[in-house]
Amino acid sequence: LLMESRLSQALEKQEFELYLQPQVAMSTGRIIGAEALLRWHHPELGMISPDRFIPIAEESGLILPLGDWVLRRGAQLLVRWREQGLGHLRLAINLSARQCRGTSLLPLLDKLLADNGIAPSQLELEITESAAMQDPESSSILLHELRVRGIKVAIDDFGTGYSSLSYLKLFKLDRLKIDRSFVKDIETDPNDAVIVSATIALAHSLGLEVTAEGVETEAQRAFLCGKGCETAQGYLFAKPVPLAQFEDMVTGVTV
């Protein structure tokens, strides 16, 4: 309860920040964009992980204004990058279940893209299986509306839900993100290696690109690259970092 009341004031107090985790093209090793990952600088407890406060925000409904804030901030970043000659970067933003079910997401996105002259294809929205499956029908309509606009849609944490395959049948997507739990033991567990290669092949045959999450070792990178996985993120390349540090990485400034 304490956390919830703190959380409701945190937006006004500007205690949130977007960290950015670079996404790297497998073939070139170059940074092609980033996933935005929310951070809360709690005045007493310090930095709090989204794993702890997103569920509370979701429960209380606060995720709606918070999610709007993330999208507005994301739009600012895309404008900033364009002005800095970094207009090729794309930004991936996580959507919560409530945002998917609500009616305010599309109007806000339309406004942000139009007001800021952002190319829709620079924005990618990540949705988890569990979020989308809470209300498959409305999710299906939402994802359709996003893709009509040219906004990219990725399925996040693929393989961890209970309905991964029916999800692929139900929803039109652009990208599949392989959950890091499958990537972790790729070198040692033959089952995981088989699951990952089959998932990449499945995604490609459905016309989806693949991003591998949680890539930590060169052997994992080589395996995924060999299977044709297009992009990756993980500690091998970089952990989530503040904006300035991300931009330094992109422009090649050593930090």
Q: What are the residues binding ligand G (CB under 6 A)?
A: 21, 37-38, 49-51, 54, 70, 94-96, 156-157, 180, 213-216, 233-235, 240
What's phi and psi for 76, nearest 5 deg? Answer: -60, -40
CB closer to Na ion, 50 vs 87: 50
Burial class of residue 64, CB neighbours in 10 A (0-12, 13-18, 19+) = middle
* Helices marked H in 11-62: 50-60
- Interaction mask 46-65, Mn ion, x per CB under 5 A: --------------------
CB closer to ligand G, 161 vs 214: 214
CB closer to ligand G, 18 vs 118: 18
**Stretch of 40-48, 86-94, 106-114, 168-176 lying at the interface with Mn ion (CB under 5 A):** 86-94
Q: Considering CB distances under 5 to 8 angstroms, the limit depending on partner class, which of Mn ion, Na ion, ligand G, none binds residue 50?
A: ligand G
* Rounded least distance, CB 176 to Na ion, Å: 11
Reading the block at residue 89, the tokens are: 């970067």
Query: Cβ contacts of residue 189 below 8 Å, gap of 6+?
Result: none
Q: What is the DSSP letter of 213?
A: -
CB 249 within 8 A of CB 241: yes
* Rounded least distance, CB 132 to Mn ion, Å: 13
